[in-house]
Structure 1
Amino acid sequence: MSSEQASGLVPERTLGIAVLGLGNVGSEVVRLLTAHADELQARVGARLEIKGIAVRNVSPDRGVPVELLTDDPAALVSRDDVDIVVEVFGGIEPVRTLILNALNSGKSVVTANKALLADYTGELAAVADAADLDLYFEAAVAGAIPVVRPLMQSLAGDRVKRVVGIVNGTTNFILSAMGETGADYAETLAEASRLGYAEADPTADVEGFDAAAKAAILASIAFHTRVTASDVYREGISEISAEDLASAADLDCTIKLLAICERVTDDTGRERVSARVYPALLPNVHPLSAVNGAFNAVVVEAEAAGRLMFYGQGAGGAPTASAVLGDLVSAARNKVHGGKGPDESTYAKLPVMSIGDTPTRYYVRMEVADRTGVLAAVAQEFANHGVSISTVRQSGLADAATLVVVTHRAPDDALSKTVAALTSRDFVNTVTSVIRLEGTSEE
């Protein structure tokens, strides 16, 4: 504070903050804003003052002054004394409308809402740009892990080739625990729920919807192409078994739910974007294979910078609030000093590749009749669809044997047709597992 301000000759500048939501993240945002008010003022050049907190139910036991609480978020975001809106409600509506109203009322916006951004970033960014305001969303992808800003700013002069990440802590906890204990999926999910790592309804996490929303955001930023959640191919982890993890270990691999965004160039030089989420075998030498428990990590591969890895807590009140506060400080500085952050960049407009055209590798485990000629017949079925086999392992005797086939890269459609053909052959009793393989030297 200057001597003029201390003497009262120059009024202290204040920026009004509206917070939408007071759950785990919102409560932590409010706590940090209050506890570190002086430090934040020194960093921003203005005092950040909470003008109101929107909640669904106003009650005096929320841990904040009751006079700050309101159940009318629409009125809050339109107030003249609010400069920046922090949205941690979640969901699509009424949040989308609230953010649009905030931007149209001259407020910059900080949000952690990946579901909203996965489908509406374009609309929101266009309004923010027209109003010369900031729309920041670092916390929407991987909690405290800084990956959005590095992609948008630090790597703005580079050419990103691939972004691969573990971006959902619930599924990573479940798969890590299954691998460590040998327990099955249902048992481990129940334990994750008991420990608070899984929601009462875990569908968004375990079926890959949460990761797909984050993949859409990452692909849009990395490849300057608007990608929505509906463009992202998605599979969850509910079909992964303890036997799959044991077989992966035999191959010196583990299994992770991966969000994969990559720039794919075909033989003619045509570029497309592939965005997909699925459980995949990952060699133990890959840096993501060591990311266990509820932690997240994202690996970015760029032409000049090479491979960069971002690792940390991807969820939780405090980690997510840290990312929100980082965005809030940036937006507040821009309010104080003028200007705004970088706009959304979608100049490339690359087409999004279908999963059928995407080159992948497969791990296929099947129970087959243990008789002469079966291995050759299986190999022929792969050859019929133009799929080359990398390795084959066989175990078991008597009436049936277990056959594990790992393929070379081929279009996903050819691989899935191969598996479909195998299930119809009389020498294949059942195809028990089909999992893609990522992170090898073929990538």
Structure 2
Amino acid sequence: MKIALLGCGNVGTEVVRLLDAQRSDLEARVGEPLELAGIAVRRPGKDRSDLPVDPSLFTADAIGLATRADVDIVVELVGGIEPARTWITSALELGKSVVTGNKALLAEDGASLYEAAAAANVDLYYEASVAAAIPLLRPLRESLHGDTVTRVMGIVNGTTNFILSRMTQTGAGFAEALEEAGDLGYAEADPTADIEGYDAAAKAAILAGLAFHTRVTASDVYREGITEVTAADVASAKRMDCVIKLLCIATRDADSVSVRVHPAMIPNDHPLAGVNGAYNAVFIEAEAAGQLMFYGAGAGGAPTASAVLGDLVAVARSRRGGARAVPQSSYAQLAVRPMGEVITSYHVNLDVDDEPGVLAEVASVFAAHRVSMRTVRQSGRGDDAVLVAVTHPATDAQLSATVAELAKLPTVRRVDSVMRVEGELGRWAETGAA
């Protein structure tokens, strides 16, 4: 069975090595050999003598390779929207199955790819697009196909999780932790997609679409990054027995779904709180299965290549047997709720004047917007006076309006930080103790 590999970067290189190292095992699992028909790269003449492959297989003609008559499966690992969309669509239309890790394309225009695959009766697999080596998408698409998933919450970006973990462990500021992530290879030269939440938002769209059988695109996902998270926020979370994580949260009710990515405080006893470094974890709740958690290496060449090879074997076996895997399903057609209607809790840290009546004034603003305060703590004197409030759940619109009005109070010198809160807060929330 002949494979066209589009892209030979960090992940593609590991795919080539694994195909060679596991050749006999892969043949036994599939029932026939998996053979590279060609590898599309930008610079075919580059020295790649360290790879166990004939140099003549390298080509700059990606579309020519993807549409070659003798190719059975196309593996796309270049990323981006175009020309990857054209390559994949052309291959599918010609009856070739496709394996891809292209989260950006799937989140923006997965619908057209699913339709092309269905029309040609071939497979489109993309396990590597979310959480690398963690078996996550196939359980959502197949293992939980007979259940109703109600919530997906997870850490799906290793770079931001490393940064927030270091801020928690060392007390470092954001800039310092980002620099360390770059030095260790966890952050790209341009880390915007990671630290601003775009990468996680694309993954959230893919997860929500599979979990809720509804078309969800990246533009449907509410997104905030971690660039505004400060060492003071991390310290405040610690006082509450919490940590701060960049979370992807997707929930379903009877007739709609909500999908969001933003930093949030979660209690230390939450299963996601102990996920540190560049690791990923996703917490799934389903009506019959209950609570499930998937954890592991969420990035890196070898882990991602592992997911690609898993898909490749599944697609090859399906193709050899004349069958087709479970297709992507969007029958539910649920509406996507705007962020303003989503129910959340907030942690609000205010720099206030040290004078009588401030607490009452602040409380009146919360009350005016019908937001109940779960706890409130006032500390410090003079220029160091601060007031910290944690709310009961309310709509995000109510909470946002509350914060906007608080910022206008004469007795509020500054709104130091605003952070959403997920999960039960335990003793601090019950007593307001620091």
Task: Name the residue aligned to 2:431.
Answer: none
1:341 and 2:307 correspond: no
State the Cα deviation string for residues 352-379 of structure 1 (Å, max 9, x = none).
0000000000000010111111101111
Q: Is the 8 A contact 2:137 2:210 kept in 1?
A: yes
CA distance in 2, matches of 1:306, 1:318: 31
CA distance in 2, matches of 1:277, 1:298: 13
Task: Name the residue aligned to 1:289.
Answer: 273
Could you list the runs of 5+ residues in structure 2 that have no partner in the other structure?
427-434
Task: Name the residue aligned to 2:310.
Answer: 326
CA distance in 1, matches of 2:25, 2:183: 38
CA distance in 1, matches of 2:113, 2:54: 32
| 3-state secondary structure, aligned to 1:322 | helix
Task: Name the residue aligned to 2:432.
Answer: none
> Structure 1 residues 60, 415: CA separation in 2 closer, same or farther (over 3 Å shift)?
closer
CA distance in 1, matches of 2:189, 2:202: 20
CA distance in 1, matches of 2:175, 2:382: 31
1:425 and 2:373 correspond: no
Task: Name the residue aligned to 1:146.
Answer: 135
CA distance in 2, matches of 1:65, 1:261: 45
CA distance in 1, matches of 2:72, 2:425: 50
Which residues of 2 match residues 86-97 of structure 1 at below 5 A?
86-97=75-86
Task: Name the residue aligned to 1:47.
Answer: 33
Deviation at 1:393, TM superposition (A): 1.3
Task: Name the residue aligned to 1:157.
Answer: 146
CA distance in 2, matches of 1:315, 1:336: 30
CA distance in 2, matches of 1:252, 1:129: 49
Task: Name the residue aligned to 2:185.
Answer: 196
1:77 and 2:66 correspond: yes
Task: Name the residue aligned to 1:407.
Answer: 391
Of the three residues 158, 175, 182, the one matched with 1:186 is 175
CA distance in 1, matches of 2:46, 2:344: 55
User: What TM-score do you get using the length of structure 2 for normalisation?
Assistant: 0.96
Deviation at 1:166, TM superposition (A): 0.1
Which residues of 2 match residues 204-283 of structure 1 at below 5 A?
204-265=193-254, 271-283=255-267
CA distance in 2, matches of 1:93, 1:166: 28
Of the three residues 85, 94, 100, the one matched with 1:111 is 100
Task: Name the residue aligned to 1:3.
Answer: none
Deviation at 1:264, TM superposition (A): 3.2
Deviation at 1:399, TM superposition (A): 4.1
Which residues of 2 match residues 356-395 of structure 1 at below 5 A?
356-395=340-379
State the Cα deviation string for residues 259-292 of structure 1 (Å, max 9, x = none).
0011135xxxxx2100000000000010000000
Q: Is the 8 A contact 1:60 1:66 kept in 2?
A: no
Divergent runs of 4+, >3 A = none
State the Cα deviation string for residues 394-426 of structure 1 (Å, max 9, x = none).
111124511111000000000000000000010
Q: Is the 8 A contact 2:240 2:425 kept in 1?
A: no
CA distance in 2, matches of 1:264, 1:290: 28
CA distance in 1, matches of 2:46, 2:161: 38
Deviation at 1:65, TM superposition (A): 2.0
Could you list the runs of 5+ residues in structure 1 that have no partner in the other structure?
1-14, 266-270
Q: Is the 8 A contact 1:172 1:257 kept in 2?
A: yes
User: What TM-score do you get using the length of structure 1 for normalisation?
Assistant: 0.94
> Structure 1 residues 193, 108: CA separation in 2 closer, same or farther (over 3 Å shift)?
same
Structure 1 counterpart of 2:343, one-letter code: P
Q: Is the 8 A contact 2:344 2:393 kept in 1?
A: yes
Of the three residues 22, 29, 35, the one matched with 1:36 is 22
State the Cα deviation string for residues 23-51 of structure 1 (Å, max 9, x = none).
01000011111111111010001110000
Q: Is the 8 A contact 2:127 2:311 kept in 1?
A: yes
CA distance in 2, matches of 1:373, 1:394: 12
Deviation at 1:441, TM superposition (A): 7.7
CA distance in 1, matches of 2:396, 2:242: 21
Deviation at 1:99, TM superposition (A): 0.2
CA distance in 1, matches of 2:337, 2:363: 28
Structure 2 counterpart of 1:197, one-letter code: Y
State the Cα deviation string for residues 149-198 of structure 1 (Å, max 9, x = none).
00111101110010001000000000000011111001111111111110
> Structure 1 residues 244, 441: CA separation in 2 closer, same or farther (over 3 Å shift)?
closer
CA distance in 1, matches of 2:318, 2:364: 63
1:131 and 2:153 correspond: no
CA distance in 2, matches of 1:60, 1:23: 12
Task: Name the residue aligned to 1:25.
Answer: 11
CA distance in 2, matches of 1:402, 1:202: 33
| 3-state secondary structure, aligned to 2:340 | coil
State the Cα deviation string for residues 307-360 of structure 1 (Å, max 9, x = none).
000000001000000000010000000111111111111011000000000000
Structure 2 counterpart of 1:36, one-letter code: Q
| 3-state secondary structure, aligned to 2:418 | strand
CA distance in 2, matches of 1:264, 1:406: 25
Structure 1 counterpart of 2:230, one-letter code: S
CA distance in 2, matches of 1:352, 1:98: 30
Kindly tell me the number of residue pairs found equivalent between the two proteins: 423
